[in-house]
């Protein structure tokens, strides 16, 4: 028994596969590093460009530094708590089997170290990804002076660095943990997932608040009051706005998708271990490793497919079609991936009797179909080429109110289709895994199928992130072009790339939400297996024995569980209310700062450079301060619900959160995207064009949609995963402490204290709204007649 | 055994109680009739007033006539289907016990006749209530020329007619069915509930679309384009707008609350029968009627309490405080009711050992607390006296977008508190019914408790409806005053009553939604008992025997059930999208009509009376046409889900709908109310007052909120109840047809056809949007610069 206990019992072929997957992960990282070097080697244009770029770079660094300081404290505390948690929850049977006498220490180290690993990987993806985006933008601007294809490829490949980093680290983490822990991996995997999710929540929420505070603040004063154009150097918040695109759309999005990537492999491995154990009987008594090896290979194939697809992302100076170039890359990758899955299935996925097991392949392939379907649904509802957005534009003719109503209806409708697509994917999994082969363990098998669907869906994460990061990079390049006053031919190239970037950014949001939901649903499956294992230990129930104290389901007929469902459903609504207010508050501060600076003599005339760093500082501080309330709620609410209502109601709570979180997230994302593009559709010359009354009405819709689509909606993705992972981690403790009894008096006291903490946190944050608005927004009243 | 089989086995006291309750029900109706006569006897003012009033009356009649023709076809078809349904589902064991050989016919008649009874009661409450409101408004206008108290009392008492009609008919229906059917009542009760719900859905949705189409349409042309004041006689839609208040706020609301009133007694009786059977053992083998008699008496006490409270609704010419008068009436009724419940508990609710059973009392009293708590939450979030609305007003200073965002955040937050209040009420029921007494049947007992909470909550329905109907009556009186040019002193009185009416109308919405949710949750309880009974018949499982084919819960761990939950959660979002669009579409038609008439020579000068009837006709037709799509969806979706995914997933579907329906309904209702009052708060002179830029921004919010709070949000209440009742009615058929097997090919074909019908219906309705907007809204573009 070596230190790599995960390799014990694997066949020679399987061992080779695991090492091969590890190699692919490292290869992805090496590719990212090489790509990064080649981008850094590119030209950075003239001094004027570098001057403004310097501000952006400094601002971005300042944000990351501050963000790091905020989270490092939370990380240390939680790592210690996870290490100490073995004092309450003893090591599982599987851990004892793998580690013998060292089981407790192995679990303690696994949980805490894996947590830190997940957190640092997630942070690295966000931070390095944002870094390369900031390096890329000036080089895109410089390249656009020479060639369209060059500029497009620079932007896309800067995104690919992040994409490869994401898939490389995600695969590396999962594989390493499996290699060290083998069948005892679930504990460490949960820690790994939780670390990643928590950082993603911080990056997503903090980034979302930052970017929209800077954006809305800059627009409210710049465009509406002072009549400055977009990206004007006299606007003190212009750099904060550009930094915000990187912070929100790059760092936040990358960390969020990385987390889904991680969480789906975590749940696939956990459920795969359960299935492997259950299948041992029909496998000649040997633990069936296929359910663990398969997702790892699939992920490896995905990395290769993304790499190859990358080559096809090119266009030429006559066609200048960035969108079709990226789509070509995507579909090529998808085709390669499916062929790869098929090969693995034919060669490896057969049982002891030699029959090929099709279900895992089908579920994984369904994931790719799901990814494409969600892209299409999002595109249909948010692109100017289809009826919904055009209808919202048309509704702007009768004013802002009808524009808003039309967007609301569109958003609600789109969430229905997104849910249906996901429901069909889950239902498909029921069919695939409904056969006799899995009849002893149908639920677990189906949920394993759902996690494979998630893995399939995120196979092309490399492409997805490249396309998404393309958005802020092109946007920033365009900003630098405006600030530095580049020539028209270059600006034309960047304008086109910017507009394509808006589309790709919007489309990938659908996948981000969908994958978060799928990840949450498959974590939901791990919840049962995890809780049951602890219950067997706590209540001394022999493996295989049936006992009514075991959690076999989440029974909604039980009113207590229904209460859990109701509270869970309310959580995303609370979160949305708080994030909307957080943006308003932070934007109010930016408005004041920009106004103050515009009054400084020389600034309005363009002779004095505004103090960009101050606006950056305000956004950074505000975002981090708001983060704390939201973080506290995300962590404490599941704990309170779990201890008050017990584990089964906690399961109901999770279902409620997934349901309403998914509906709200899609609604917000698509309504926001549609309002944005309805404005653009009018700007293209329809219904009166730019400056007309319908355009003003559409601007209102766009401003309403901004925090919904870039802050509140995206914040719900990591929320879903964080509360699922926290619940998974605390469920054993709840079982241990509550032992299925009604709550004891000391427990009730602790809970009441926690509820007071949460209520106080929410109240304080609401009071701040009033306070700040009284004090700052009040002065922020623009001159009458200038209003939109 | 007489024809009144429900009286068999009752003690003499119990029989007397039942007859007493029946007498109280009749007494309530008589009181309503007497009150109506006394109102009709009042003065109707001058000829000018009667002229405009004549238009309103005719318009209201036209609407009711058309509404009736739309629903009568659906009613006949469904009544036949319910009669025929006994061919698929044989009579229950209890029916056979009560009716012997005649069981099948008794059930067939019960289902279909009770359905028609429920439908006609619901229609009668809406229609007669609207009628008396239309009679009342002119008399309020006339009375306001003489005394404040007189006008206030006329308005309130006109509402009381509807309130008494509602409680009288609700109690009468439930009692009669119980008297005839006794223990075999569930079948007939479900039919009764379904009839009421279906009509309520039609009245609520049709009324909601009508009222907002007329309101928004009248405002868009009248106020925004032509600069006409509110209620100007030159606006062709002014009468339609006034009729709309009666149609939506009076008929719609009354039918909706009547339905909750009905449904809570239906579920209390069904669950009471189960508990009574279960408790027979400890009751010396005798069926325990207490659980059936108790809710009936409680309802009877409620009627008396409302009647007495009514006396206290008075003010005088010095104080002129309508709000505190109504509150005094409400709290008096509440106190009387609680004392009454206590008396009944002490005298009647003890077991064979003489121990008093407190749980039913506690659950009922909790309902009254819940009603008051929901009132307070709604008031806090929608009244100009508290921070939330003031904050939304303040946000209007930075434009329409920040006003909208502030309202969205407020709405989302308020829905969280409303859910928590309901969750606490359900949780309280778990405590009350958690004792040893109910241990054999805990879930059923708790859900029975939830239905008692619903009954408690609706105890003061008489007061609630009086307060609610006060709103449209005062509003219409004010409109007649404006149209007929009444003197200032009378207008002042009516202005004040109108503004109080806005508040009472907003507050009672919280109760309407809350009661719908509680009613839906308690129906959820009946779902299990109902399905299990059929399963025992179909699968031949002896009473009391345990069998894994029996539906013992809704297990969310089963992915198929989770799919049901997801689809259920999406339904209210779909419904909202469709209702918002329906209003936009219908409003577009009104805009065109008003414009057309304004161009007729003489109309703008006030020399020619516009053709009010045409605008009324357009609203009426549009509302009825839109209704059909929504009705088809409400009825077909549960059927499709049930047959495709089976009964357990149907249970998950119901939970999903209740959860997201509740959250959305509260959000829409409160956000809409807050936007409305944020505008009023500015009109009171804050932040620049009427006509300022912030006011214009607030008008946008108000217009967005209008269809949300008066159409989409309220439409969700009956939706929740209708889909629960349909599910209850079809569940036995599903069990019978599916027999727990995977779907057969013919079934799949039928389902696919139904899905196509639903999809086609939705698509057609969306196409109409585009078509109509292209053709009508397009021309509806107001002159540039006039826009809000």
Beta carbons of B646 and B744 less than 8 angstroms apart? no
Q: How wide is the angle at C-alpha B37 spanned by C-alphas B502 and B192, nearest 5°?
A: 70
Q: How far is A638 from chain B (nearest CA, A)?
A: 15
Q: Write the CB contacts of B684 (distance below 8 Å, at least 6 apart in sequence).
A: B384
- Number of residues assigned to chain B: 788
Report the candidate in B91, B85, B262, B291 with the shortest Cα–Cα distance to residue B181. Answer: B91
Beta carbons of A23 and A297 less than 8 angstroms apart? no
Distance of alpha carbon B716 from alpha carbon A35, whole angstroms: 54
In chain A, what residues touch B660 (CB-CB under 8 Å)? 569, 659-660, 663
Q: What pLDDT, on the 0 to 100 scale, is given for residue A766? A: 61
From the list A391, A397, A560, which residue is nearest B769 (CB)? A391
Its ipTM equals: 0.91
Count of Cβ atoms closer than 10 Å to residue B84 Cβ: 12
Beta carbons of B643 and B737 less than 8 angstroms apart? yes
Asked if B776 is an interface residue toward chain A (Cβ–Cβ < 8 A), one would say no
Burial of A93 (0-12, 13-18, 19+ CB in 10 A): middle
Q: What pLDDT, on the 0 to 100 scale, is given for residue A701? A: 94
Secondary structure (3-state) at A780: coil
pLDDT surpassing 50 at residue B130:
yes
In chain B, what residues touch A448 (CB-CB under 8 Å)? none
Report the candidate in B297, B248, B4, B45 with the shortest Cα–Cα distance to residue B151. Answer: B45
From the list A422, A560, A700, which residue is nearest B566 (CB)? A422
Q: What pLDDT, on the 0 to 100 scale, is given for residue B637? A: 92
Q: Which of A401, A513, A713, A772 to mutate to test the interface with B (most CBs of B within 10 A)?
A: A401
Query: Whole-number mean pLDDT of chain B?
Result: 87
B693/A570 Cβ within 8 A: no
108-167 in B: which are within 8 Å (CB) of A? Answer: none
Burial of A376 (0-12, 13-18, 19+ CB in 10 A): middle
Q: What pLDDT, on the 0 to 100 scale, is given for residue B397? A: 87
Q: What pLDDT, on the 0 to 100 scale, is given for residue A743? A: 66
In the 8-state DSSP scheme, what is residue B781? P
CB pairs under 8 A between A and B: 293
259-318 in B: which are within 8 Å (CB) of A? Answer: none
448-467 in A: which are within 8 Å (CB) of B? Answer: 450
B660/A663 Cβ within 8 A: yes
B401/A704 Cβ within 8 A: yes
Higher-pLDDT residue of B401 and B747 is: B401
Report the candidate in A545, A532, A546, A758 with the shortest Cα–Cα distance to residue A644. Answer: A758
Report the candidate in A289, A293, A295 with the shortest Cα–Cα distance to residue A276. Answer: A289
Beta carbons of B460 and B302 less than 8 angstroms apart? yes
Q: Write the CB contacts of B274 (distance below 8 Å, at least 6 apart in sequence).
A: B441, B444, B448, B529
Asked if B6 is an interface residue toward chain A (Cβ–Cβ < 8 A), one would say no
From the list A398, A400, A423, which residue is nearest B400 (CB)? A400
Beta carbons of B573 and A416 less than 8 angstroms apart? yes
Q: What pLDDT, on the 0 to 100 scale, is given for residue B764? A: 65
Q: How wide is the angle at C-alpha B636 spanned by C-alphas B631 and B638, nearest 5°?
A: 115
Distance of alpha carbon A443 from alpha carbon B561, whole angstroms: 11
Distance of alpha carbon A741 from alpha carbon B186, whole angstroms: 36
In chain A, what residues touch B554 (CB-CB under 8 Å)? 555-557
pLDDT surpassing 60 at residue B1:
no
pLDDT surpassing 70 at residue B225:
yes
Q: What pLDDT, on the 0 to 100 scale, is given for residue B766? A: 61
Model confidence over B723-739: pLDDT tens digits?
998 998 888 888 888 87
In the 8-state DSSP scheme, what is residue B356? B
Q: What pLDDT, on the 0 to 100 scale, is given for residue B651? A: 92
B777/A395 Cβ within 8 A: yes
In chain B, what residues touch A425 (CB-CB under 8 Å)? none
B415/A703 Cβ within 8 A: no
Q: How far is B34 from chain A (nearest CA, A)?
A: 44
Model confidence over B605-621: pLDDT tens digits?
888 888 888 888 888 88
Q: How wide is the angle at C-alpha B733 spanned by C-alphas B731 and B735, nearest 5°?
A: 70
Q: CA-CA distances (angstroms) from residue B95 to A451, A748, B101, B188?
A: 48, 47, 10, 11
pLDDT surpassing 80 at residue B775:
no
Model confidence over B159-210: pLDDT tens digits?
999 999 999 999 999 999 999 988 888 888 889 999 998 899 889 999 999 9
What average pLDDT values come out for chain A (788 residues) when binned by 10 residues?
78 91 95 95 91 90 86 88 82 80 85 92 92 93 93 93 93 92 86 90 90 87 78 88 87 89 89 85 78 93 92 85 90 95 91 85 94 91 90 90 94 92 87 78 86 92 91 91 90 89 85 87 81 80 76 80 93 94 87 87 86 88 85 90 90 94 95 93 91 90 93 92 90 83 72 75 58 38 36
A405/B584 Cβ within 8 A: yes
Q: What pLDDT, on the 0 to 100 scale, is given for residue B557? A: 80
Q: What pLDDT, on the 0 to 100 scale, is given for residue B777? A: 39
Q: How far is B129 from chain A (nearest CA, A)?
A: 31
517-556 in B: which are within 8 Å (CB) of A? Answer: 521, 524-525, 528, 552-556
pLDDT surpassing 50 at residue B629:
yes
From the list A224, A406, A570, which residue is nearest B419 (CB)? A570
In chain A, what residues touch B446 (CB-CB under 8 Å)? 559
Burial of A186 (0-12, 13-18, 19+ CB in 10 A): buried
Asked if A416 is an interface residue toward chain B (Cβ–Cβ < 8 A), one would say yes
Range B620-644 average pLDDT: 88
Burial of A537 (0-12, 13-18, 19+ CB in 10 A): middle
Report the residue of chain B nearest A446, measured CA to CA.
B559
In chain B, what residues touch A630 (CB-CB under 8 Å)? none
Neighbouring-strand partners of residue A36: none
Beta carbons of B435 and B420 less than 8 angstroms apart? no
Distance of alpha carbon B122 from alpha carbon A23, whole angstroms: 71
Q: How far is A506 from chain B (nearest CA, A)?
A: 21
Model confidence over B539-592: pLDDT tens digits?
888 777 777 777 777 888 888 889 999 999 999 999 999 999 999 888 888 888
Asked if A585 is an interface residue toward chain B (Cβ–Cβ < 8 A), one would say no
Report the residue of chain A nearest B783, measured CA to CA.
A693
Beta carbons of B155 and B134 less than 8 angstroms apart? no
């Amino acid at each position: 028994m070596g230190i790599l206990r995960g390799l014990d019992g694997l066949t020679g072929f399987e061992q080779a596969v695991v090492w091969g997957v590890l190699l692919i992960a490292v290869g992805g990282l090496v590719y990212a590093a090489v790509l990064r070097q080649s981008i850094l080697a590119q030209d950075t244009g003239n001094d004027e460009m570098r001057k403004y770029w310097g501000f952006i770079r400094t601002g971005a660094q300042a944000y990351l530094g501050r963000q790091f300081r905020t989270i490092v404290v939370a990380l240390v505390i939680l790592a210690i708590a996870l290490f100490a948690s073995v004092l309450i929850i003893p090591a599982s049977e599987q851990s004892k089997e793998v580690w013998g006498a060292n089981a407790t220490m192995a679990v303690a180290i696994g949980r805490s170290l894996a947590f830190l690993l997940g957190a640092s990987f997630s942070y690295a993806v966000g931070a390095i990804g944002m870094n390369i985006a900031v390096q890329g933008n000036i080089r895109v601007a410089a390249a656009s002076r020479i060639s369209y294809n060059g500029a497009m490829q620079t932007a896309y490949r800067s995104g690919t660095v992040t994409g490869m980093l994401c898939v490389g680290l995600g695969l590396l983490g999962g594989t390493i943990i499996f290699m060290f822990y083998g069948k005892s991996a679930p504990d460490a995997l949960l820690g790994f997932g939780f670390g990643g999710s928590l950082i993603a929540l911080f990056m997503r929420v903090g980034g979302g608040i930052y970017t929209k505070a800077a954006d809305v603040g800059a627009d409210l004063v710049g465009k509406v009051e002072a009549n400055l154009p977009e990206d004007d150097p006299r606007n003190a918040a212009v750099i904060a706005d550009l930094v915000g695109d990187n912070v929100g759309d790059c760092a936040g999005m990358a960390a969020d998708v990385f987390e889904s990537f991680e969480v789906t492999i975590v749940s696939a491995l956990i459920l795969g271990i359960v299935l492997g154990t259950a299948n041992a009987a029909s496998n000649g008594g040997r633990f069936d490793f296929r359910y663990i090896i398969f997702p790892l290979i699939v992920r490896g194939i995905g990395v290769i497919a993304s790499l190859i697809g990358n080559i096809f992302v090119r266009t030429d100076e006559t066609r200048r079609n960035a969108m079709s170039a990226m789509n070509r890359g995507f579909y090529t990758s998808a085709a390669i991936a499916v062929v790869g899955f098929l090969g693995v299935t034919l060669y490896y996925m057969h049982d002891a009797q030699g029959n090929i097991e099709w279900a895992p392949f089908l579920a994984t392939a369904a994931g790719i179909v799901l990814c494409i379907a969600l892209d299409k649904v999002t595109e249909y509802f948010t692109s100017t080429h289809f009826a919904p957005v055009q209808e919202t534009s048309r509704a702007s003719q009768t004013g802002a109110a009808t524009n808003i109503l039309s967007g609301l209806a569109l958003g609600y409708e789109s969430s229905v289709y997104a849910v249906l697509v996901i429901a069909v994917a889950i239902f498909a999994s029921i069919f695939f895994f409904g056969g006799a082969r899995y009849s002893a363990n149908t639920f677990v098998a189906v949920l394993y199928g759902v996690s494979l669907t998630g893995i399939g869906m995120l196979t092309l994460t490399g492409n997805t992130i490249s396309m998404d990061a393309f958005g802020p990079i092109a946007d920033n390049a365009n900003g630098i072009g405006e600030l530095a006053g580049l020539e028209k031919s270059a600006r034309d190239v960047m304008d086109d790339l910017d507009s394509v970037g808006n589309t790709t950014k919007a489309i990938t949001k659908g996948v981000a939400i969908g994958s978060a939901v799928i990840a949450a649903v498959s974590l939901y499956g791990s919840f049962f297996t995890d809780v049951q294992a602890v219950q067997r230990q706590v209540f001394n129930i022999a493996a295989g024995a049936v006992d009514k104290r075991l959690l076999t389901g989440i029974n909604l007929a039980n009113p207590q569980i229904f209460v859990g469902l109701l509270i869970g459903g309310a959580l995303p609504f609370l979160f949305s209310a708080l994030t909307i207010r957080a943006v308003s508050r932070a934007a109010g501060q930016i408005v004041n700062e920009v106004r103050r600076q515009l009054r400084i003599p020389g600034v309005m005339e363009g002779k004095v450079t505004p103090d960009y760093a101050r606006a950056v500082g305000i956004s950074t501080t505000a975002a981090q301060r708001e983060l704390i309330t939201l973080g506290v709620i995300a962590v404490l609410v599941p704990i309170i619900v779990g201890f008050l209502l017990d584990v089964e109601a906690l399961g109901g709570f999770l279902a409620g959160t997934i349901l309403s979180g998914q509906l709200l997230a899609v609604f917000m994302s698509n309504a926001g995207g549609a309002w944005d593009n309805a404005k653009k559709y009018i700007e293209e010359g329809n219904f009166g064009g730019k400056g007309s009354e319908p355009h003003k009405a559409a601007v209102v819709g766009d401003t309403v949609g901004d925090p919904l689509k870039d802050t509140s909606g995206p914040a719900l993705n990591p929320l879903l995963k964080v509360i699922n992972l926290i619940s998974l981690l605390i469920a054993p403790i709840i079982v241990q402490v509550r032992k299925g009894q009604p709550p004891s008096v000391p427990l009730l006291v602790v809970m009441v204290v926690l509820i007071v903490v949460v209520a106080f946190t929410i109240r304080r944050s609401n009071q701040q709204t009033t306070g700040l608005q009284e004090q700052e927004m009040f002065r922020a009243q623009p001159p009458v007649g200038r209003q939109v």
